[in-house]
């Protein structure tokens, strides 16, 4: 492949994903490489944790700390060195390790090193999010098939319909690769790595590319839009010019439920696998299961396509986008809304808006999770104390505004675009002076009067009284000091 990569300012990392159409031999080789990555992963986990179990056993015999078995390192260079030492003599690898590329084993070892690092940082409190447990061995029936190539022959063929990977050879792609091929030949892109993965019933290859990407100017760079996500409507968009647009919810899963029930009943009537007795599935069960999986894959593809079209359209039009920091994990615990929330893809919408905004050098403002966008009147700023979820029309008791609940929330979100970002770095955070509350704490919205504290509503009445009392005390102290 000709074309030399010319480094320029504005280089970004981007992924290109293509579906593959391997033949029978290539598909077997893909399974072998992914299985080799899983075998290397399991060996590394067992090798590292063996020293932990040994030290724990020795401690029960009263052996001193200095005499215990030394800890085995989990860094990638150390794992590589030990694996290269034992791969020719260990019966688990000696007979077949030469059949696969070295990158397959390196994939498993690199994943182990990252997993132990995440575990150590989480235990030390240096990693955000939920606690990460000790890495465990991967089961063959549950492990995701994936393998990453960083060295060797990795290229896009000149015909635009084939890719070449180390030890796997040239594999036909299901779709043309002309866009990436043109960039590589033009010298504006350089392929760094390739990852093959089996998902949704077929094989895919993803190229990690370092490329020069020009910033695309949006249609309204000075305009902002607030996006309120929901189930009735997928998104309600209110821009700074006062225009409101409703994006319908496609409900792809709901449209396929009837067909899924039919195929699920067909699968349940046939002889499936049984782990307890070791029974193998029948051919008719496998055929029926494949037909059911095709429906799930189609729903997932339709959802992905719809979300990409929505986020691309929004990012190509507005300069600033305001979204909410939704507690999606908490919503999924609601048994009445879980299926609809999962089908909408709230988290994926926010992720795409953020990275697509970075391409155009446009900011994405994330409103605080506790910001009362639905309870605040977009006209006068009065904040309701309570607004149940079943109340879909917002009615202001102060100014008499009657508006759709989601449209009112979208208008409040777009108003945050002009506001200053608070000390926490999150728009709409009205309480930054106190001690931050733990995740999951309940912040109740207090009733607020209009005209105090800005457009979105002022401080609560009790807070205002405390401030007035403090002012009186300071005045009295000043008078005493002068006297």
Query: Is residue 368, in this structure, part of any structural domain at all?
Result: no
Q: How far apart are CA 132 and CA 454, in angstroms?
A: 42
174 and 44 share one domain: no
Which of 103, 239, 324, 343 is catalytic? The answer is: 324
Catalytic residue among 239, 343, 406, 407: 406
Residue-wise pLDDT for 325-369, tens only, equals: 999 989 999 988 999 999 999 999 999 999 999 888 899 999 988
Query: By residue range, what is the domain housing residue 158?
Result: 11-23+146-212
pLDDT tens-digit map of 273-319: 998 998 999 999 999 999 999 999 999 999 999 999 999 999 999 99
Q: What is the mean pLDDT of residues 178-192?
A: 94
Strand partners, 202: 199
103, 228, 343, 407: which one is catalytic?
A: 228
Q: Does a structural domain hold residue 281?
A: yes
Number of domains observed in the structure of the chain? 3
150 and 268 fall within a common domain = no
The candidate with the shortest Cα–Cα distance to 380, out of 394, 401, 411, is: 401
pLDDT category, 12, cuts 50, 70, 90? confident
Contacts of 316 (CB under 8 A, 6+ apart): 216, 218, 219, 360
> Do 264 and 357 reside in the same domain of the chain?
yes
Q: What is the pLDDT of residues 135-170, one digit of tens each?
A: 999 999 889 999 999 999 999 999 999 999 999 999
The Cα-based distances of 373 to 171, 232, 289, 394 in angstroms read 51, 17, 45, 11
115-128: pLDDT as tens digits: 999 999 999 999 98
More reliable by pLDDT, 403 or 446: 403
pLDDT, position 438: 39
Q: Are 256 and 270 within one domain?
A: yes
Phi, psi for 274 (deg, rounded to 5): -135, 110
Residues 196 and 326 in one domain: no
Strand partners, 233: 248
Confidence band for 322, pLDDT divided at 50, 70 and 90: very high
**Which pLDDT does position 483 carry in this prediction?**
31
pLDDT digits (tens, 9 = 90+) for 372-427: 999 999 988 889 988 988 899 999 988 889 999 999 999 999 998 877 444 334 55
Evaluate whether 41 touches 138 at the Cβ level (below 8 Å).
yes
Cα–Cα distance for residue pair 114/48, rounded to 1 Å: 13
In this structure, is residue 109 part of a structural domain?
yes
Same domain for 178 and 75: no
Instruction: Look at residues 190, 212, 234 and tell me which one is the last residue of a structural domain.
Output: 212
228 and 308 co-located in one domain: yes
336 domain-assigned: yes
Told to judge if 228 belongs to the known catalytic residues of this protein, a careful annotator would answer yes
Residue 100 and residue 106 in contact, taking contact as beta carbons nearer than 8 Å:
no
* 423, part of any domain: no
Domain boundary among 339, 362, 385: 362
Residues 29 and 175 placed together within one structural domain of the fold: no
Q: 18 with 164, same domain? A: yes
- My answer on whether 163 and 304 are in the same domain is no
Residue 346 phi, psi (nearest 5): -60, -45
Confidence (pTM): 0.80
In tens, the pLDDT along 52-91 reads: 999 989 888 888 888 888 999 999 999 999 999 999 999 9
**Can you state the angle between helices 76-86 and 24-60, rounded to 10 degrees?**
100
- Domain for residue 114, yes or no? yes
The residue among 149, 163, 160 whose CA lies nearest residue 183 is 160
Domain-embedded: residue 384: no
369 found inside a domain: no
Q: CA-to-CA distance for 304 and 310, rounded, in angstroms?
A: 10
Structure tokens at 323: 């979204």
Asked if residue 66 and residue 35 are part of one domain, the reply reads yes
Secondary element (H or E) of residue 105: helix 102-123
Task: Please indicate whether residue 324 is annotated as part of the active site.
Answer: yes
Active site annotation includes 27? no
110 in the same domain as 199? no
pLDDT at residue 428 in the model: 55
Residues 6+ apart with CB under 8 A from 194: 148, 149, 154, 163, 165, 205, 206, 207, 208
In angstroms, the CA 17 to CA 105 distance is 23
Q: State residue 460's pLDDT score.
A: 37
């Amino acid at each position: 492949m000709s074309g030399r990569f010319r480094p320029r300012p504005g280089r970004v990392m981007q992924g290109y994903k293509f579906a593959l159409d391997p033949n029978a031999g290539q598909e077997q080789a893909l399974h072998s490489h992914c299985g080799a990555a899983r075998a290397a992963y399991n060996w590394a986990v067992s090798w590292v944790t063996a020293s932990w179990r040994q030290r724990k056993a020795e401690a029960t015999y009263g052996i001193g700390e200095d005499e215990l078995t030394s800890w085995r390192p989990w860094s990638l260079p150390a794992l590589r060195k030990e694996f290269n030492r034992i791969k020719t003599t260990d019966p688990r690898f000696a007979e077949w390790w030469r059949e696969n590329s070295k990158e397959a084993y390196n994939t498993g070892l690199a994943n182990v090193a990252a997993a132990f690092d995440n575990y150590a940082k989480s235990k030390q409190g240096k990693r955000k999010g939920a606690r990460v447990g000790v890495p465990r061995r991967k089961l063959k029936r549950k492990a995701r098939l994936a393998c990453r190539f960083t060295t060797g022959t990795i290229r896009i063929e000149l015909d635009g319909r084939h890719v070449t990977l180390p030890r796997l050879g040239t594999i036909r792609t299901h779709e043309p690769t002309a866009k990436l091929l043109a960039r590589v030949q033009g010298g504006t892109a350089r392929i760094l790595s390739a990852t093959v993965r089996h998902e949704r019933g077929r094989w895919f290859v993803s190229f990690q590319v370092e490329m020069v990407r020009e910033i695309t100017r949006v249609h309204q760079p000075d305009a902002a839009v607030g996006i309120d996500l929901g189930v009735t409507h997928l998104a309600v968009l209110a821009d700074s010019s006062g225009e409101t647009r409703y994006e319908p919810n496609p409900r792809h899963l709901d449209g396929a439920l009837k067909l899924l029930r039919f195929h699920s009943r067909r699968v349940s009537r046939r002889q499936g696998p049984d782990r307890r007795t070791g029974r193998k599935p029948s051919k008719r069960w496998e055929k029926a299961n494949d037909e059911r999986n095709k429906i799930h894959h189609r729903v997932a593809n339709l959802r992905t396509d719809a979300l990409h079209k929505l986020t691309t359209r929004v990012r190509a039009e507005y300069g600033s986008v305001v979204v909410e920091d939704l507690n999606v994990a908490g919503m999924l615990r609601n048994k009445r809304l879980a299926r609809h929330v999962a089908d909408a893809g709230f988290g994926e919408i926010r992720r795409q808006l953020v990275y697509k905004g970075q391409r155009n050098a446009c900011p994405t403002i994330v409103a605080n999770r506790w910001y009362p966008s639905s309870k605040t009147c977009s006209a006068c700023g009065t904040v309701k104390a309570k607004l149940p979820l079943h109340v879909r029309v917002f009615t202001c008791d102060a100014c008499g505004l009657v508006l759709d609940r989601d449209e009112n929330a979208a208008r409040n979100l777009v108003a945050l675009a002009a506001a200053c970002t608070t000390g926490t770095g999150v728009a709409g955070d009205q309480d930054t002076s106190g001690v931050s509350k733990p995740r999951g704490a309940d912040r109740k919205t207090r009733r607020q009067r209009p005209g105090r504290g800005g457009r979105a509503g002022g401080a609560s009445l009790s807070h205002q009284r405390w401030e007035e009392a403090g002012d009186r005390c300071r005045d009295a102290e000043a008078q005493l000091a002068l006297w």
